[in-house]
């Protein structure tokens, strides 16, 4: 019993405990730094163009997507999709599809896209074509969210929104264009 009260033994136990806590803390920090975190925001836009004669084009409803890399490492964005929150739909592209992917070969952004630490990626996608494909399969109160895949196969989700918002954006654009472009 007296050996445990020896100052050398007490200091040895104290050093062992401190070094173990320091090791565990470093492992936790390492794991947190390697974790990929993306912030995905969306907004609904009505876009138009203006020519040199100050004539405006008909407006087009779009879904604007902003992806910010909050992790310390570079992330390679493979594809951006619209996820139906567990619901599978049937459309022209196939049956029981859980998500539709945006592919636009005319844009300057080519995927996979390297998103560096703190960098913001902005992209806009047409809502008209999306609503035409999924409109027969979804109800107005069904939830949708933006889904981003990275090249490692991980999924990153935005907050959910109702399909009704997409329908309202398309309806507004169609009504505006019908009244102003005859």
Contact (CB, 8 A) for 63 and 127: yes
Least Cα distance to 130 among 176, 70, 80, 175 occurs for: 80
pLDDT in tens, 82-123: 998 888 877 776 787 788 887 766 677 888 999 999 999 998
pLDDT in tens, 46-63: 988 887 788 778 889 999
Average pLDDT for 21-45: 89
Distances in whole angstroms, Cα of residue 174 to Cα of each of 17, 45, 126, 161: 69, 14, 13, 21
In terms of domains, do 28 and 41 share one?
no
Structural domain boundaries, residue 21: 2-32
Per-residue pLDDT at 2: 64
**Mean pLDDT value across the chain:** 87
Tell me the CATH number at 166: 2.60.40
Per-residue pLDDT at 4: 66
| C-alpha to C-alpha distance for 31 and 15, rounded to whole angstroms | 24
Tokens of 170: 């398309």
- How many domains are contained in the chain? 2
pLDDT in tens, 116-167: 999 999 988 888 888 888 888 888 899 999 999 999 889 999 999 999 999 9
In terms of domains, do 65 and 130 share one?
yes
Tokens of 133: 């494909």
Collapsing DSSP to helix, strand or coil, 94 comes out as strand
Q: What are phi and psi of 131, to 5 degrees?
A: -65, -35
In terms of domains, do 85 and 48 share one?
yes
In terms of domains, do 79 and 106 share one?
yes
């Amino acid at each position: 019993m007296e050996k445990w009260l020896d100052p050398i033994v007490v200091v040895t136990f104290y050093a062992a405990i401190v070094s173990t806590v320091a090791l565990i803390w470093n492992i936790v920090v390492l794991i947190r730094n390697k974790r990929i975190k993306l912030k995905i925001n969306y907004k609904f836009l009505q876009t138009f163009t203006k020519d040199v004669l100050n004539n405006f084009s008909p407006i087009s409803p779009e879904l604007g997507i902003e992806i910010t890399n909050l992790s310390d490492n570079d992330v390679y964005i493979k594809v951006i999709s619209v996820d139906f929150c567990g619901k599978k739909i049937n459309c022209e592209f196939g049956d029981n599809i859980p998500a539709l992917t945006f592919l636009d070969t005319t844009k300057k952004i080519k995927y996979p896209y390297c998103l560096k630490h703190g960098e913001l990626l902005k992209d806009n996608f047409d809502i008209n074509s999306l609503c035409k494909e999924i409109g027969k399969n979804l109800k107005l109160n069904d939830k949708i969210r933006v889904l981003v895949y990275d090249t490692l196969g991980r999924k990153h989700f935005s907050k959910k929104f109702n399909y009704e918002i997409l329908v309202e954006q398309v309806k507004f654009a169609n009504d505006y264009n019908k009244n102003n472009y005859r």
